Amino acid sequence: MIAIGLTGWGDHPDVYSSVTAAKDKLFDYSGHFPVVELDTSFYAIPSVENVEKWCKDTPDTFQFVVKAYQGMTGHLRDELPFETRNDMFNAFRVCADTFQRHGKLAMVLVQFPPWFDCQTKNVNYIQYIKQQLADYPVAIEFRNQTWYSEQMKDKTLAFLKNNDYIHCVCDEPQAGSGSVPFVPIATHEKVLVRIHGRNVHGWRNIGHGENWRKVRFLYDYNERELQQLSEQVHFLNKQAKQVYVLFNNNSGGHAAKNAKRMQQILQLEFENLAPKQLGLFGD
């Protein structure tokens, strides 16, 4: 099974009309795609009330990839807005439990920062994450090339498989140690593909200027690139029961268009979507 979606639902103008209220955007989104990445959970752990609303606003089969809070992944270093690390994980588990109770938790995405390299203390921390999130399927996304070096690639994949982690396969610019290669290998019955674009200049200039996030993910995949990516997704579908593909290249509004084109290439029809607006994407 292949499910295609986007990261977030609030910034994709092709998915809803210009008059759609913010509170209705998720419902409109779920008329086009069966899965979404909840990226706001990286910045603040959502309340149960919000999670309940999101679950209510989407079809029964709709799925959320919930991004782990940044304090859990090391992005905040030691500046945690919680009294203890246990308090932080407890709060996140309450959020994840709510999605899971509604049958809408595809996985928890744990995205580590670029400085999280392949060394023993970091392997131990990944195992600690697993203990804290033992009740959920957990996807691991690395942002440091050392995990996929010639010496470590096979060991990394074996570690993920032996510990029942979902491998997050990334398409992103090849821009030094803070980026990872595209490695289409599944280590679990589920596999996650995150498509970030190929803007090498934007990736290298992370953190420079007010709009660095917009620059970083500014990329429109051409037809040949989407055909090649679709072949890789098809290859992953032979390895895993469920393939989730998320387009994250939305700085210029390209993610939804690219996702719809991949859906056409793979000849996918998503069932049980919300009622769809007329006119969008030519539907």
| pLDDT tens per residue, range 228-281 | 999 999 999 999 999 999 999 987 889 999 999 999 999 999 999 988 765 555
- Using a cut of 0.85, tell me whether the model's pTM lies above it: yes
Tell whether the torsion through CA atoms of 273, 259, 100 and 16 is positive or negative.
negative
**DSSP character for 188?**
S
Contacts 24+ apart (CB under 8 A), 71-80: 72/110, 72/129, 72/132, 73/110, 73/111, 73/112, 73/113, 73/116, 74/112, 74/113, 74/116, 74/125, 75/113
> How far apart (Å, rounded) are the C-alpha atoms in residues 50 and 76?
24
Domain around 109: 2-282
Rounded CA-CA distance 110/10 in Å is 21
**Alpha-carbon span 95 to 88, nearest angstrom:** 11
pLDDT tens digits, residue range 96-124?
999 999 999 999 999 999 999 999 999 99
Residues 196 and 186: their CA atoms lie apart, in Å, by 19
pLDDT digits (tens, 9 = 90+) for 124-169: 999 999 999 999 999 999 999 999 999 999 999 999 999 999 999 9
Q: What is the number of structural domains in the chain? A: 1
Specify the CATH number for the domain of residue 36: 3.20.20.410
The residues with which 3 forms a beta bridge, in sequence order, are 244
